[in-house]
Structure 1
Amino acid sequence: MYAAERQQLLADRLRHDGRLSVMDLADELEVSSETIRRDLAVLERDGLAQRVHGGAVAARALMVLEPGLAQRSSTNAEQKDRIARAAIEFLPDPGGSVVMDAGTTISHLVDSIPLDHPLTAITHALPTATKLSAIPSVSLHLLGGRVRGVTAAAVGQATVDALALVQVDVGFIATNAASPSHGLSTPDAEEAAVKRALARSARMVVALFDSSKFSADHVFSFASYDDLDVVVTDTGASDRDVAALREHGIKVVLA
Structure 2
Amino acid sequence: MLAAERQGHILDEVQRRGAIRVSELSQLLGVSDMTIRRDLDTLAGQGQLDKVHGGATVRRAPSTDEPGFEAKGQRQVEEKEAIAAAALAMVTPGSAIGLSAGTTTWMFARHLVDVPDLTVVTNSMRIADLLHASPTNGPNVVLTGGVRTPSDALVGPLAVSALEQLHLDVVFMGVHGMDPKAGFTTPNLLEAETDRALVDAGRRFVVLADHTKWGTVGIKTIASIEQADTIVVDSHMASEDLAALRELAQDVVVAEVSAHPVPAP
Normalization by structure 2: what TM-score?
A: 0.70
Query: Is the 8 Å Cα contact of residues 113 and 131 (structure 2) preserved in structure 1?
Result: no
Distance 2:186 2:132 in 1: 27
The Cα offsets for residues 22-68 of structure 1, whole Å up to 9 and x where unpaired, read as: xxxxxxxxxxxxxxxxxxxxxxxxxxxxxxxxxxxxxx775221111
**Partner in structure 1 of residue 146 of structure 2:** 145
The Cα offsets for residues 41-96 of structure 1, whole Å up to 9 and x where unpaired, read as: xxxxxxxxxxxxxxxxxxx77522111111100111111111111110111x2111
Q: What are the ranges of 5 or more consecutive residues in structure 2 without an aligned counterpart?
A: 1-20, 22-59, 256-265
Query: Is the 8 Å Cα contact of residues 110 and 128 (structure 1) preserved in structure 2?
Result: yes
- 1:247 Cα offset (Å): 2.4
Distance 2:177 2:85 in 1: 21
Distance 1:241 1:161 in 2: 37
Coordinate RMSD, CA, aligned: 1.8
Determine if the alignment matches structure 1 residue 244 to structure 2 residue 240: no
Distance 2:72 2:217 in 1: 17
Distance 2:180 2:122 in 1: 27
Query: Is the 8 Å Cα contact of residues 156 and 194 (structure 2) preserved in structure 1?
Result: yes
Distance 2:129 2:105 in 1: 13
- Report which stretch shifted further, 61-70 or 117-126: 61-70
Query: Is the 8 Å Cα contact of residues 98 and 198 (structure 2) preserved in structure 1?
Result: yes
Distance 2:242 2:169 in 1: 25
**Partner in structure 2 of residue 95 of structure 1:** 94
- The one-letter code sitting in structure 2 at the alignment partner of 1:103 is G
Determine if the alignment matches structure 1 residue 180 to structure 2 residue 180: yes
**Partner in structure 2 of residue 40 of structure 1:** none
- 1:218 Cα offset (Å): 1.3
Q: How many residues align?
A: 195
SS of the equivalent of 2:148 reads strand
SS of the equivalent of 2:214 reads helix
Moved over 6 A (4+): none
Give me the identity figure in percent: 32
**Partner in structure 1 of residue 84 of structure 2:** 84
Distance 1:62 1:244 in 2: 24
The Cα offsets for residues 147-194 of structure 1, whole Å up to 9 and x where unpaired, read as: 22x111211111111111111111000111001100000111001111
Distance 2:86 2:120 in 1: 19
